[in-house]
């Protein structure tokens, strides 16, 4: 599940593979971009902004993509067989003389003028892994709706950019509050932003995400429904939170975390 850490890793891989090189292959397989040809343009850089990827090209163009739940960019050497899904799931191919980047299942793919990138990402709050990270600004945005549930508030990318469902559950566990606790009832709201930044920074370069530091049990509660809490032994519980049309299972330990929660 792509979250801020994995998206920043993807940006790093794409940047290493493409930056400074001229595109020799350009194949954008979405209707609105079907006639666009980017060959001959040099890739300037690839950067992440929250969960968004911005591939900046010479001539003032930016290819904006978003991975959402299961999108991915894969990098291949010349002649290497592409792996990442069936061909009909490919949405973009960007190739140079030495590498080819293939975008699978990209739900968002659009071409923007680079000065107009804010049309795609200007609504985002401070990026937990970006140069614009500001704990004070993130805290102010969270505090603007004190009645909102913590879990929903930290998932809202307009408050702070980069947290997804995994980090939401793990962050609430480490704060010892349930994801349904109102933001205004947090005993130490400053700790939320500090800890969120620490979690993502610690996983910025890790191939496998962890919040426990234990390779055998990398996460405290996420994905551990029915199994004993690593801290107190109480069975971990799971329930949906937020928009019922979106599958976002939330995990918590009723023994370690205080606050409201769905009935058993």
3 catalytic? Reply is yes
**CA distance linking residue 91 with residue 233, whole number of Å:** 45
Catalytic residue among 74, 148, 204, 248: 248
131 catalytic? Reply is no
Sequence-ordered alpha helix ranges (H) in 81-203: 118-121, 135-143, 150-155, 165-175, 189-202
Catalytic residue among 49, 51, 168, 224: 51
**CA distance linking residue 198 with residue 263, whole number of Å:** 32
Catalytic residue among 2, 49, 126, 209: 2
51 catalytic? Reply is yes
Residue 88, helix vs strand vs coil: helix
* Strand order, beta sheet including 25-28: 25-28, 90-95, 100-104, 72-76
Pairing mode, if any, of strands 90-95 and 61-66? unpaired
Q: Which of 57, 83, 54, 84 is nearest to 66 (CA)?
A: 54
User: Residue 160 carries which DSSP code?
Assistant: S
Q: Which helix (H) or strand (E) holds 18?
A: helix 4-18
Using CB atoms within 10 A of its CB, is residue 255 exposed (0-12), middle (13-18) or buried (19+)? Answer: middle
Say if CB 66 and CB 4 are below 8 A apart. Answer: no
168 catalytic? Reply is no
Say if CB 234 and CB 173 are below 8 A apart. Answer: no
Known catalytic residues are 2-3, 51, 248
């Amino acid at each position: 599940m792509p979250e801020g850490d994995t998206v920043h890793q993807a940006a790093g891989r794409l940047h290493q593979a493409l930056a400074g090189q001229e595109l020799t292959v350009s194949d954008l397989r979405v209707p609105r971009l079907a006639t666009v040809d980017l060959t001959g343009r040099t890739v300037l850089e690839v950067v992440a902004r929250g969960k968004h990827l911005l591939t900046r090209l010479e001539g003032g163009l930016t290819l904006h993509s978003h991975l959402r739940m299961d999108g991915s960019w894969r990098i291949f050497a010349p002649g290497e067989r592409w792996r990442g899904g069936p061909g009909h799931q490919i949405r973009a191919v960007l190739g140079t003389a030495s590498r080819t980047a293939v975008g699978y299942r990209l739900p968002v793919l659009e071409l923007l003028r680079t000065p107009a990138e804010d049309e795609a990402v200007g609504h985002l709050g401070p990026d937990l892994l970006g140069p614009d990270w500001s704990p004070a600004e993130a805290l102010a945005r969270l505090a603007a709706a004190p009645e909102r549930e913590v879990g929903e508030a930290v998932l809202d990318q307009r408050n702070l950019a980069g947290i997804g469902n995994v980090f939401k559950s793990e962050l609430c566990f480490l704060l010892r509050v349930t994801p349904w606790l109102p933001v205004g009832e947090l005993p130490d709201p400053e700790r939320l932003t500090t800890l969120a930044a620490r979690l993502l920074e610690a996983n910025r370069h890790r191939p496998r995400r962890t919040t426990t530091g234990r390779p055998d049990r990398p996460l405290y509660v996420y994905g551990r429904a029915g199994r004993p809490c690593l801290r107190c032994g109480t069975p971990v519980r799971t329930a949906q939170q937020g928009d019922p049309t979106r599958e976002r299972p939330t995990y918590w330990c009723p023994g370690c975390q205080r606050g409201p929660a769905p009935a058993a």
